[in-house]
């Protein structure tokens, strides 16, 4: 089977990822922590896609890196400003161990899933960088949609804003994945973006 041209298989993997992530009863296996055990599924999925598509995660090319780091910093600052101006309730302040969740788990796990696995696979299947980037950015954005039904109603407007800024975040970081060929810079960019949010949360800005 030629995986590089098999769109139905990749579509099936995409549905499988969201089906397991959104509808599997992870709460039955949840320990007394707000850190979801579904992170284990994310890692398993990334490993499966990496093996199926022979994806590379080590390559690094610094060309254009400064512009991408400036772009992700500007996007983070703009997103925080919008949240401040809108005076919406932000759930990050209620996270257990925000340093661990925002600065370690999210950059590592989400980049392995969305830039390493999804973007890497869609680049092979579609043969179009822009289409693959658009789809992976959209997938990254809607991965935050469960906040609509898992979080209290007062956070609904925040989730709407998050869906928007994560799309553009996914686009900038996806560009880094395409330009560098690996996920080292994407992980660093995601860390930087979340660092702005972490500082804003601990300083009480949002």
Q: Model pTM?
A: 0.94
1 band by pLDDT with thresholds 50, 70 and 90: low
Q: What is the DSSP letter of 36?
A: -
Nearby residues of 172 by Cβ (< 8 Å), 6 or more positions away: 68, 71, 72, 75, 189
* 121-180 confidence digits (pLDDT tens): 999 999 899 999 999 999 999 999 999 998 999 999 999 999 999 999 999 999 999 999
Tell me the C-alpha distance between 108 and 164, whole Å.
Answer: 21
**Averaged pLDDT for residues 115-123:** 96
Q: Please check whether residue 174 is in contact with residue 55, taking contact to mean a CB–CB distance below 8 angstroms.
A: no
Distance, CA of 92 to CA of 102 (rounded, Å) = 9
Return all residues near 203 (Cβ < 8 A) that are at least 6 apart: none
Percent of the chain with pLDDT over 90: 77
Enumerate the domain spans of the chain.
3-202
**pLDDT beyond 80 at 40:** yes
How high does pLDDT run on average in the chain? Answer: 92
Other CB atoms within 10 A of residue 19 CB: 11
Rounded-to-integer distance, Cα 187 and Cα 87, Å: 29
8 A C-beta contact, residue 163 and residue 142:
yes
**Phi/psi of residue 59, nearest 5 degrees:** -60, 150
Q: Which helix (H) or strand (E) holds 67?
A: helix 65-86
Residue-wise pLDDT for 49-66, tens only, equals 999 998 877 777 778 899
């Amino acid at each position: 089977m030629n995986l590089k041209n098999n769109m139905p298989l990749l579509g099936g993997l995409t549905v499988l990822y969201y089906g397991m992530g959104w509808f599997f009863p992870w709460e039955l296996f949840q320990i007394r922590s707000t850190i979801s055990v579904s992170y284990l599924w994310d890692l398993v999925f990334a490993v499966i896609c990496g093996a199926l598509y022979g994806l590379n995660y080590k390559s690094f090319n610094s060309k254009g890196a400064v512009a991408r780091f400036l772009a992700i910093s500007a996007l983070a600052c703009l997103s925080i400003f919008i949240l401040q101006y809108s005076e919406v309730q932000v759930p990050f302040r209620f996270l257990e161990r925000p340093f661990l969740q925002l600065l370690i788990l999210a950059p590592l796990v989400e980049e392995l899933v969305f830039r390493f696995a999804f973007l890497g696979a869609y680049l092979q299947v579609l043969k179009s960088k822009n289409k693959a980037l658009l789809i992976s950015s959209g997938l990254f954005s809607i991965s935050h949609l469960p906040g609509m039904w898992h979080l209290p109603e007062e956070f609904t407007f925040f989730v709407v804003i998050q869906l928007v800024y994560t799309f553009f975040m996914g686009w900038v970081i996806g560009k880094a994945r395409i330009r560098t060929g690996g996920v080292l810079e994407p992980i660093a960019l995601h860390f930087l973006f979340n660092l702005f949010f972490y500082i804003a949360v601990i300083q009480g800005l949002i």
